[in-house]
Amino acid sequence: GQSLEQPSEVTAVEGAIVQINCTYQTSGFYGLSWYQQHDGGAPTFLSYNALDGLEETGRFSSFLSRSDSYGYLLLQELQMKDSASYFCAVRSYNQGGKLIFGQGTELSVKP
Amino acid sequence: DAGVIQSPRHEVTEMGQEVTLRCKPISGHNSLFWYRQTMMRGLELLIYFNNNVPIDDSGMPEDRFSAKMPNASFSTLKIQPSEPRDSAVYFCASSLKGPSYQETQYFGPGTRLLVL
């Protein structure tokens, strides 16, 4: 089977750096994606890692270690608008390439 | 592009009634996904289509749920009869599936369904 684990809640202050971890168990792992969802909104794509290492997109970075079945999303210079839920999702070719989402981490950014 | 379009945005119905949710994917995309989101179960994939053909419906909860994609620009998810436990937000997403697995799914705004 497949499973993903991420913290349910994280709180940080404006301007800070926060890291949201994701560990996964799956066979036929292909890549790890991150999606952001604001309250009442739809999930939107943030990043995708297929290879080990860090991918940077502006204030957001995502990291993957395939050997450790582990990844994280790093948010820098936090802003109030970053308050949202963040989902990691794995893509497995044993599952026809469909995305399996984690339960999400609710990030609260305080002033 | 208008993005993924879903209708209705909100639906309130009574137990036993038929509910039909509609989705128009982004033009040119060849994959379409139906998800359900609840607090208890998170974001669950119900079914997905590739080139209008259902590929994986293992997430469809039971026979009361059915989905169709008659053409590349339209899909429906039907619940008949509806039950209170079907209350959730239903998202449609589309993507352009290429030779690699690096594909971004674009989600619609969702349909918030409440079954009384």
Instruction: Tell me whether residue A111 is exposed, middle or buried, using C-beta atoms within 10 angstroms of its C-beta: 0 to 12, 13 to 18, 19 or more.
Output: exposed
Instruction: Give tens-digit pLDDT for A54-106.
Output: 999 899 999 999 999 999 999 999 999 999 999 999 987 766 667 889 999 99
Give me the pLDDT at residue B102, please: 63
State how far the Cα of A70 lies from the Cα of A75, in Å rounded to an integer: 17
Structural contact between residues A107 and A39, judged by C-beta atoms closer than 8 angstroms? no
State how far the Cα of A36 lies from the Cα of B53, in Å rounded to an integer: 28
Q: What are the tokens at B6? A: 């879903």
Mutate to test the interface with B, among A9, A101, A105, A106 (most CBs of B within 10 A): A101
Dihedral over alpha carbons B112, B61, B63, B65 (to 10 degrees): 20
Instruction: Give tens-digit pLDDT for B58-115.
Output: 889 889 999 999 999 999 999 999 999 999 999 999 998 765 556 789 999 999 999 9
Structural contact between residues A41 and A55, judged by C-beta atoms closer than 8 angstroms? no
Residue type for A49, please? Answer: N
Instruction: Look at A96 and B56 and tell me if their CB atoms are within 8 Å.
Output: yes
Find the chain B residues whose C-beta atoms sit closer than 8 A to any C-beta of A: 33, 42-45, 48, 55-56, 91, 93, 97, 101-102, 104-110
State how far the Cα of A99 lies from the Cα of B14, in Å rounded to an integer: 32
